[in-house]
Amino acid sequence: MKLLLLTGDGTEIGYQAIRYFLDHLGVPYDAVVTATQPLPTLNDAAKGFYQGIILATGNLAFSSNGAYESGLSPAEWATLDAYMISHGVRAVSYYTWPEPRYGIAFTSAFGTTDTEPGLASILPAGRTTFSYLNPSAQIKVLWSWVYGATPAPASGEVTTPYLTMRGHTVGAYHRKADGREYLAFTFDNSPYLIHSMLFNYGIVNWVTKGVFLGFRRIYLSPQNDDLFLASDQFVHNDPNCRPTAGPRDLTFDPSTTCPDVRMTSTDLYKLRDWQVRLNANELVNGFRVAHAFNGFGTTQASGAPANDGLTQAAKALKAYFYWLSHTYDHENLDCFKPVPNSGICRAATYAEAAFEITENKKVATSLGLPLDAASMVTPAISGLFNANFLSAARDNGLRYFVGDLSRPEWQPQFPNTGTFHSAQFPTLFIIPRRATNIFYNVHHANALVIGSEPDEYNYLFGPAGIFRLPDGSPFFSVNQTYRQIIDRESDALLSYMLRYEMYPSMFHQANFVFYNGTNSLFTDLIDETIRKYTSLVKLPVASMSQTTIGQRLIERMEYLAGGVQGVYTPGVGIKLTARKAVMVPVTGACAGVCETYGGQRQSRIRVGPNQTVSVPVL
């Protein structure tokens, strides 16, 4: 049970895109660069080796000494055709010049951009293949060169348009007289384009006939750091309250010079009410915010008032959210309680780290919070190279931590996986987490106010921004409005969802302050993300606790390393084997932990080492 992925010379952006999506789904495949590699053996006397074929381009062309030729010889094309006929295997042409092989003829060519997108419509015949998309959705195809086409089947063949754009066929099903089935698309793709993310699952599901190893879910798991503490705020005209482009001084203490903001009980109740309203949409009823809290913020020593309303609200609303520790008082575990502004750091000792862990657990117990006890978010992602902290964490039952996915050291080798810490701490696991450009020190949508999101965004990325492109030019030639920022950041969140990423996303407590009594930066962003999502997709969205995320990522890693093989006999079932004990994700069959998602059965099936597990496919 694997796919054969064929490319011309491997440089096609569409080839990178389909690999990217297959990796996110966990679908096994063999990738063959036909310019330098022969067509692999496709079958033996007992079975076929590939359940589907994806061609990065329709003719697998590549440049050879200035001339274009196909990576497959005529004999290899004939072998591929014969295999499709004998084993009933389908093929997808991911980016196609309209030609007779795919039953379409060229009509015109045009490019699409962000200002002049192509709008792809799903025709009734294509709505089964793309059943998870809203049938009336107009899919924006951006930054793609498009070959318009029209159906042109030969005698005895059938071509059925699935997608149209500007009056042209851009996606079509084609059936040859000998039974071969193709799905062909005439617009280019990229790992980072929304239209590619939207169509990829339908392509994989169609070419496998709905039965394959791997599966997809849509996740959105936001984490709110620093609950109970106050956050210093960005001030546009105060250099002491603005970040710098150089190395960060971990001993810098803005609390003596910068204003701060802390959520109130009203903010937490409004967040609950907003989440309840969001959950009323059946597609989003699995959404839940996770609070990474610092218990010190509940004490009068931190500046909290007696009988603190926020603390009492947390107790009353505990069932509505996930809860996990962010240490007791948010001290940086690599620069522990330094003399402010001294520039001198020392790492937390074992005893200090243990106190940060155990004292926050005591606060969770006293408040009755349902603590995700195996997980922690460390302050500023600190401590993850501090052996004192790691030893204390291990000894106190912690296992799952988050790393910043924008940092190279926490980028995993494969999508939807994480990192086991080291041989010294083999049980500790780092989950990649997505940062956002909703900054920790902002709470307001307006410009020229304390804690302004657009002020800080433009200070960093605007025409005079301190961060620049490699050529020295600014990211934006004009200052960005709040609406533009939310539009861009919601596109980023949407893209993570449409890639089926399991990773959480990072926010901070100031982002949850309702700046005008009705809106917060967080709710504005999530509302826009969900608005865009539900206009396109019909699949349920879920949030996961940090521990559950960690467990799922480890499952994926074990599956990828487990030597899993599947043999699918249509009409009979699947036989699964593995070298190691693994949980195998399967779409289109029901066994083990079986659920229905998007109208399909999905299973997580335990397979022992050198064991054969038979799974019926009904």
* pLDDT reported for residue 253: 77
Structure token pair of residue 535: 């206009």
Is 147 inside any structural domain?
yes
E-state strands within 191-259: 212-213, 218-219, 222-227, 231-232
Q: CATH number of the domain at 348, please.
A: 3.20.20.370
Residue 554 lies in a domain: no
Percent of the chain with pLDDT over 90: 92
Tokens 């997505």: give the residue.
434
The residues that bridge with 324 in the sheet, in sequence order, are 292
Q: Is residue 557 included in any domain, yes or no?
A: no
Q: Are residues 85 and 108 in the same domain?
A: yes
- 549-560 pLDDT, tens per residue? 999 999 999 999
Distances (CA, A) of 549 to 24, 144, 222, 369, 556: 15, 34, 12, 20, 11
Residues in Cβ contact with 407 at an 8 Å cutoff, skipping those fewer than 6 apart: 381
Among 48, 60, 67, smallest CA distance to 3 is for: 48
Of 458, 455, 528, the closest CA to residue 493 belongs to: 528
Whether the CB-CB separation of 143 and 114 falls below 8 Å is answered with yes
Q: Which domain holds residue 459?
A: 218-542
Give the pLDDT confidence score for residue 247 in this predicted structure.
Answer: 72
The three-state secondary structure class of 610 is: coil
Q: How far apart are CA 126 and CA 413, in angstroms?
A: 35
pLDDT of the residue at 252: 78
**Has residue 597 been placed in a domain?**
yes
**pTM of the model as a whole:** 0.95
Domain of residue 163, CATH code:
3.40.50.880
Tell whether 412 is covered by a domain.
yes
Calpha distance 16→19 (Å, rounded): 5
* Same domain flag for 330 and 347: yes
Residue type at 306? A
Q: How confident is the model at residue 502 (pLDDT cuts 50, 70, 90)?
A: very high
pLDDT level of residue 255 (50, 70, 90 thresholds): low
Structure-token pair, residue 608? 């022992």
> How many CA atoms are closer than 13 Å to the CA of 360, on its beta-carbon side?
33
**pLDDT per residue as tens digits for the range 106-150:** 999 999 998 999 999 999 999 999 999 999 999 999 999 999 999
Write out the two tokens for 579: 């070298």
* Residue where one domain finishes, among candidates 190, 209, 228: 209
Distances from the Cα of 554 to the Cα of 74, 153, 417, 559, 562, angstroms: 44, 48, 7, 8, 12
The tokens 């407590």 sit on which residue? 509
Same domain, yes or no, for 78 and 223? no
When divided into structural domains, the chain yields a total of 3
Give yes or no for residue 603 having a pLDDT over 70. yes
| Residues 204, 157 share a domain | yes
| Pairwise CA distance, residues 450 & 287, whole Å | 31
Token match 């600190």: residue?
382
Q: Residues with Cβ < 8 Å from 195, sequence gap 6 or more?
A: 120, 139, 140, 141, 142, 144, 187, 189
Please report the DSSP string for 161-203 in residue order. Answer: EEEEETTEEEEEEEE-TTS-EEEEE-B---TT-HHHHHHHHHH
Torsion angle defined by CA atoms of residues 544, 548, 552 and 557, in that order, rounded to the nearest 10 degrees: 130
Residue 367, C-beta contacts closer than 8 angstroms, at least 6 positions apart:
298, 311, 314, 315, 318
Task: For residue range 34-44, list pLDDT tens digits in order.
Answer: 999 999 999 99
- Over the Cα atoms of the chain, what is R_g? 27
Query: How many C-beta atoms lie closer than 10 Å to residue 397's C-beta?
Result: 10
- Per-residue pLDDT tens digits for 224-249: 999 999 999 999 999 999 998 767 77
Task: Give backbone dihedrals phi and psi of 269, rounded to 5 degrees, phi first.
Answer: -65, -40
Instruction: Examine the domain organization and report whether 144 and 68 are in the same domain.
Output: yes
The reply to whether 238 and 201 lie within a common domain is no
- Boundary-marking domain end, from 509, 542, 575: 542
Compute the distance between CA of residue 189 and CA of residue 467 in angstroms, rounded to an integer.
30
Segment 570-598, tens digit of pLDDT: 989 999 999 999 999 999 999 999 999 99
User: Residue 313 is encoded by which pair of tokens?
Assistant: 């609200």
How many other CB atoms are there within 10 angstroms of residue 13's CB atom? Answer: 17
pLDDT at residue 248 in the model? 75
Are 500 and 396 in a shared domain? yes
CB-facing half-sphere around the CA of 365: CA atoms within 13 A:
7
Whether residues 267 and 187 share a domain: the answer is no
Q: Which tokens belong to 200?
A: 């990829």
Query: Are residue 147 and residue 267 in the same domain, yes or no?
Result: no
pLDDT tens, position by position, 291-311:
999 999 999 998 888 899 999
Within this chain, do residues 304 and 453 fall inside the same structural domain, yes or no?
Answer: yes
Q: Please say whether the beta carbons of 323 and 293 come within 8 A.
A: yes
CA atoms within 13 A on the CB side of 88: 8
How long, in residues, is the chain? 618
Domain endpoint, select from 209, 237, 271: 209
Instruction: State the chain's mean pLDDT as an integer.
Output: 96
Q: Can you read off the two tokens belonging to residue 543?
A: 């949030």
Do 113 and 261 sit in the same domain of this protein?
no
Q: Which of 211, 226, 253 is nearest to 378 (CA)?
A: 226
Residue 611 forms part of a structural domain: yes
* Residue 132 and residue 201 in contact, taking contact as beta carbons nearer than 8 Å: yes
Residue 133's pLDDT is 98
Residue 294 corresponds to which amino acid? N
Under DSSP, is residue 431 helix (H, G, I), strand (E, B) or coil? Answer: strand
Q: Is 337 left (phi over 0), alpha (psi -120 to 50) or beta?
A: left
309 and 393 assigned to the same domain = yes
In whole angstroms, what is the distance from residue 606 CA to residue 583 CA? 4
- Residues of the chain with pLDDT > 70, as a percent, come to 100
Q: Where are the alpha helices (DSSP H) in 428-581?
A: 453-461, 482-498, 521-536, 546-561
Residue 550 lies in a domain: no
- pLDDT one-digit tens code per residue, 168-220: 999 999 999 999 999 999 999 999 999 999 999 999 999 999 999 999 999 99
Burial 39-69 (b: 16+ CB within 10 A, else e): beebeeeeebbbbbbbbbbbbbbbeeeeeee
The answer to whether position 455 is within a domain reads: yes
- 256, pLDDT greater than 90: no
Rounded Cα–Cα distance for residues 153 and 83 (Å)? 21
